[in-house]
Structure 1
Amino acid sequence: MRRRTPGAEHGRVTENIAGLPMSPLEILALLGAVALVVARWLPPVARPRVTIAAGAVLLPSAIVLGVAGIRWQLLPVLAGAAFALPFTLSPLLRPLRRRPGRPAWRARWWLALPGSVACIGLIAMGPVAAWAFPVPVFPEPTGNFAVGTRVVQWTDPRRPETFSADPTDLRTVVVQLWYPAQKSPAGTRRAQYLGRTEHEARTVSEALARGVGLPGFLVDGVPRARSRAVFDAPVAGGGERFPVVLFSPGSGGVRTQNTAWAEELASHGYVVAALDHPYDSAAVVLADGRTVTTETASTGDPAKDEELAAGWTAVRAADLGFVLTRLDALDRGESADPLTGRLDTGRAAVTGHSMGGAAALQAARQDRRFDAVIDLDGYPHGPASPSLHQPVLALTQAVTPATDPRYLPRLTEALDSSTATSYRLTVPGAAHLTFMDGPLYLPPVPSIVGSLSRTEGPRVVAAATLAFLDAVLRGKPGDPAGVLLAYGSLGVHHPGGHG
């Protein structure tokens, strides 16, 4: 008999239902609260039964949610129910003296109506807040493989840590791998989002919130999420060797910020290695328990900020080259590992979002082992030489008058100077955060996450990425431009600058 994971049943009832911003227990509590308010307006015969039923639903739901960790979005629901409760229960608990044949007294409708409306307004704030700041529900990967994930930490013995005053401190990176895996038994606990443990996830979530000036409680649903991968799942059988895709997050971003994208690629037979860059990523939890937070910040001086960004980009580019070296050593079996002999580091792409995209471009300039580059809406910081020899896919939002006027010329220069055919795909309805997991859990405000749906943005980005990687790394027949055109406005940049 298969052994159940402790707490698995409890986890299922407190996880969101796909397509809804609330869990089953939260929905039950919401319905119970509404029923308490509505009971006041029912005929006297029905009122006691509805009140008792509402309480029987609301109270146990609230208790279980309180034990599991109640979300702030449910507090208005409970407040509305608490305000309504005395008025709903009083006829049941304290019968009034009345003459025979006269009904029990209750407040005039015109006195009770404002209170009921206020309670319903409070209760309605709950699902609205849950819709604006949901627990992210990750899309099911569409590939043939299940997805496994694990985290490794590597130290580069040749590079001192430039952010540290300690001369013995060496550059260390934390890398999360997503890889094609064997299918896990039904009911297997899926991987925690944002970290290996809930504590790490909360540490990272709070750091990300601080980085954008938000109170941490607003996004307290994010560290509750589970992705679609399984930690330490066995590698897929068959002996196939998988191309590798390295990923660098945005400035202040973290290795897990593109989890939906990474899982989709892994389900189609790629190994994705996403980096935390210590002192640059919002928070990096090291193997010894230390948490390293970001020390990069803009000065407000454009020239100085560009100089700083170029330096940070160079450090990230070196991190990417180092990780490719470690993946190659892992594949050769320098240490015992389940992925030994399964990584095709001879087919490698380097990718990144925002500043990570700039790092990917610089890493490709410096390291010819990378065969392809994907820049997810990243401004090209740093030197524009030497010319790129790899094909590049740049996914961008639409250029508007608010866009930095230097962005498009610098990106065009990078693409035109490449000795390989490159592509710029403008995704309609995209914003800067469309190119990460943000649409899954941030308010659906077009200026923040674009006008695509919560799942459509990540789907388009992953589909365009796969089309490009399949053509470049796997040699899939056909012109990739024909496939990419399905996802937006495409510009093709041929060698020599003839776009």
Structure 2
Amino acid sequence: MWRGAARAEDGDVTETITGLSLSLPEFLAVLGAVALVAARWLPPAVRPRAAVAAGAVFALSAAVLGGLGVRWQLLPVLAGGAVALPFALSPVLAPPLRRLRGRPARPARRVPWWLALPGAAACLGLIAAGPVAAWAFPVPVFPEPSGPFAVGTRVVQWTDPDRPETFTADPDDRRTVVVQLWYPARSSPAGTPRAPYLGRTPQEARTVADALAAGVGLPGFLFDGAAHARTRAVADAPVAGGDERFPVVLFSPGSGGARTQNTAWAEELAGHGYLVAAVDHPYDSAAVVLDDGRTVRAATASSGDRDTDERLAADWTAVRAADLGFVLTRLEELDRAGGADPLAGRPDTGRVAATGHSMGGAAALQAARRDPRIDAVIDLDGFPHGPATPALHQPVLALTQDLTPGTDPRYLPRLTEALAADTAPSYRLTVPDAAHLTFTDAPLYLPPVPSIVGTLGRTAAPRLVAATTLAFLDATLRHAPGDLPAALSPYGRLTVHPPGMDG
């Protein structure tokens, strides 16, 4: 579905060698450090030249990295190389240095092999830790969208004057959301900078990365790759020419997530002619940076009691569903607006899907129950919090992972109840080898631990999510001809619920 890997104009930080998660200077630093360690064990005839060459490569690479910025993953490489450097070069440099001082030259003494071997092994262990860490926590390289359009993105902040902010005690506080739009755009000239991943500015990206890491109990530096990544979209790119209108896809992230957590998916949809509006929900998203510089951090947390948590989750889901409805209203205003806004008249708010991951999936379901403007729903592994009535009247696609011993036993019955009562066809696709975060960008930059991101692979996971949801959206919003079950079935175990099966 996607084409290509990173391009030079995406920024130095993503110019990594395919399969290594290392840039060229980083790879040369690793190579030079390994060669410094290996020089001790080479035949005497080639040892001096090999040591000098390895030292030069290592020193130059380290200098280049010092200018570009050293990732934390390369620190053990630099440490291992720095320890090996004097031992590799001293036998070469000692004789001429003695001659310069007027002393008689004599062969340099070598450390016995049985003493050198543990030190060499320790240095190699340090050096190897760098590529392993870079592989486990890479700078994400986003797939290039496969559709006919380039992709633009912009971020807007909207305040609902009719809704009080229920997370604060200020009676005058009104609900404010930050929304990121991805839309079909005109192609930009080569070399145009790509939009940052986690925020509009480096400071915002760092704030969000730290909040996401803290939410899962990890130190912030482990998410440095995501904080420095660039996407495939161009910020504020000109909207695609012509008068084509773009079906709208609303997106709500998971609890403690971020509006950007499904960027690869959003860019793929926008490349195929959809307008995606992803919502940051203040006090629920990990960290929301507002236009005035304030940062609103997540205030939702488990109480430890299952019944209490269920009530809280239902309340939070209702707030999110209202946020989605409000964003749709603002997009309707944009649809009817004059020519001042570049997107004026382009959102097709007569064709709308509500989507979300985890709690965001629950919010999409609830938004569809209360808002007849929504025509289709996608639930990405989301427990359906909140009331089960009224019955849904829109087609639904639910992507789920295989059930595990840790899965809430209420999850599948609750989801099946919602889908079976739907008066429109609905589909549940169980994806083998998936985990909860498989349905986000996480496989692109988190360690490939099966319980975290599944075992589909860094690029196969976003490809699957994009392929299945795009087939569903084309069928439901664009009424594209074809057999939707046949299109979904190759990706997992498909359960089809006919209209009104149980209700």
Which residue does 2:187 correspond to in 1? 183
Aligned-pair identity (%): 76
**Over the residues paired in the alignment, what is the CA RMSD in angstroms?**
1.9
Counterpart check, 1:114 vs 2:79: no
> 1:76-105 CA distances to partner (integer Å, 9 max, x unpaired)?
101111111121121233229899998532
Counterpart check, 1:229 vs 2:233: yes
Cα gap change, 1:317/1:13 in structure 2, threshold over 3 Å: closer, same or farther? closer
Which residue does 2:378 correspond to in 1? 374
Q: How big is the shift at 1:49?
A: 2.2
Aligned residue pair count: 492
Q: Provide the rounded CA distance (Å) in 1 between the counterparts of 2:68 and 2:207.
A: 19
Which residue does 2:151 correspond to in 1? 147
Which residue does 1:5 correspond to in 2? none
Corresponding letter in the other structure for 2:352? A
Report the 3-state secondary structure (helix = DSSP H, G, I; strand = E; otherwise coil) of the residue aligned with 2:394: coil
Corresponding letter in the other structure for 1:86? P
Gaps of 5+ in 2: 1-7
Cα gap change, 1:491/1:190 in structure 2, threshold over 3 Å: closer, same or farther? same
> 1:476-496 CA distances to partner (integer Å, 9 max, x unpaired)?
112311111111110001122
Counterpart check, 1:25 vs 2:25: yes
Q: Provide the rounded CA distance (Å) in 1 between the counterparts of 2:492 and 2:228.
A: 33
Counterpart check, 1:104 vs 2:108: yes
Does the CA contact (< 8 Å) of 1:271 and 1:343 recur in 2?
A: yes
Q: Provide the rounded CA distance (Å) in 1 between the counterparts of 2:367 and 2:114.
A: 70
Q: Provide the rounded CA distance (Å) in 2 between the counterparts of 1:17 and 1:336.
A: 43
Report the 3-state secondary structure (helix = DSSP H, G, I; strand = E; otherwise coil) of the residue aligned with 1:221: helix
> 1:221-254 CA distances to partner (integer Å, 9 max, x unpaired)?
1111111111111111121111010000000010
Corresponding letter in the other structure for 1:187? G
Report the 3-state secondary structure (helix = DSSP H, G, I; strand = E; otherwise coil) of the residue aligned with 1:220: helix
Which region of structure 1 is more displaced relative to structure 2, 22-31 or 145-154?
22-31
Cα gap change, 1:100/1:174 in structure 2, threshold over 3 Å: closer, same or farther? closer
Q: How big is the shift at 1:449?
A: 0.4
Q: How big is the shift at 1:15?
A: 3.4
User: How do residues 153-168 of structure 1 correspond to structure 2 at under 5 angstroms?
Assistant: 153-168=157-172
Report the 3-state secondary structure (helix = DSSP H, G, I; strand = E; otherwise coil) of the residue aligned with 2:248: strand
> 1:358-412 CA distances to partner (integer Å, 9 max, x unpaired)?
0000000000100000000000000001111000000000123331110011001
Does the CA contact (< 8 Å) of 2:9 and 2:194 recur in 1?
A: no
Q: How big is the shift at 1:334?
A: 5.7
Q: Provide the rounded CA distance (Å) in 1 between the counterparts of 2:104 and 2:488.
A: 80
**TM-score normalised per structure 2:** 0.94
Which residue does 1:437 correspond to in 2? 441
User: How do residues 14-93 of structure 1 correspond to structure 2 at under 5 angstroms?
Assistant: 15-93=15-93
Counterpart check, 1:364 vs 2:368: yes
Corresponding letter in the other structure for 1:36? L
Does the CA contact (< 8 Å) of 1:29 and 1:62 recur in 2?
A: yes
> 1:430-484 CA distances to partner (integer Å, 9 max, x unpaired)?
1000000010011101111001111101100110000000000000112311111
Does the CA contact (< 8 Å) of 2:10 and 2:194 recur in 1?
A: no
Report the 3-state secondary structure (helix = DSSP H, G, I; strand = E; otherwise coil) of the residue aligned with 2:351: strand
User: How do residues 217-366 of structure 1 correspond to structure 2 at under 5 angstroms?
Assistant: 217-333=221-337, 336-366=340-370
Counterpart check, 1:388 vs 2:389: no
Which residue does 1:458 correspond to in 2? 462
Q: Provide the rounded CA distance (Å) in 1 between the counterparts of 2:328 and 2:146.
A: 27
Q: How big is the shift at 1:69?
A: 2.5
Which region of structure 1 is more displaced relative to structure 2, 220-229 or 311-320?
220-229
Q: How big is the shift at 1:179?
A: 0.5
Which residue does 1:475 correspond to in 2? 479
Q: Provide the rounded CA distance (Å) in 2 between the counterparts of 1:87 and 1:229.
A: 48
Q: How big is the shift at 1:64?
A: 2.8
Does the CA contact (< 8 Å) of 1:18 and 1:137 recur in 2?
A: no
Report the 3-state secondary structure (helix = DSSP H, G, I; strand = E; otherwise coil) of the residue aligned with 2:151: strand
Q: Provide the rounded CA distance (Å) in 2 between the counterparts of 1:401 and 1:301.
A: 19
Q: Provide the rounded CA distance (Å) in 2 between the counterparts of 1:167 and 1:212.
A: 33
Q: How big is the shift at 1:10?
A: 11
Q: Provide the rounded CA distance (Å) in 1 between the counterparts of 2:55 and 2:335.
A: 59
Counterpart check, 1:427 vs 2:431: yes
Corresponding letter in the other structure for 1:82? A
Cα gap change, 1:102/1:287 in structure 2, threshold over 3 Å: closer, same or farther? closer
Q: How big is the shift at 1:161?
A: 0.6
From 415, 419, 422, the equivalent of 1:418 is: 422
Does the CA contact (< 8 Å) of 1:415 and 1:422 recur in 2?
A: yes
Q: Provide the rounded CA distance (Å) in 1 between the counterparts of 2:401 and 2:84.
A: 48
From 138, 143, 154, the equivalent of 2:142 is: 138
Corresponding letter in the other structure for 2:366? Q
Report the 3-state secondary structure (helix = DSSP H, G, I; strand = E; otherwise coil) of the residue aligned with 1:251: coil
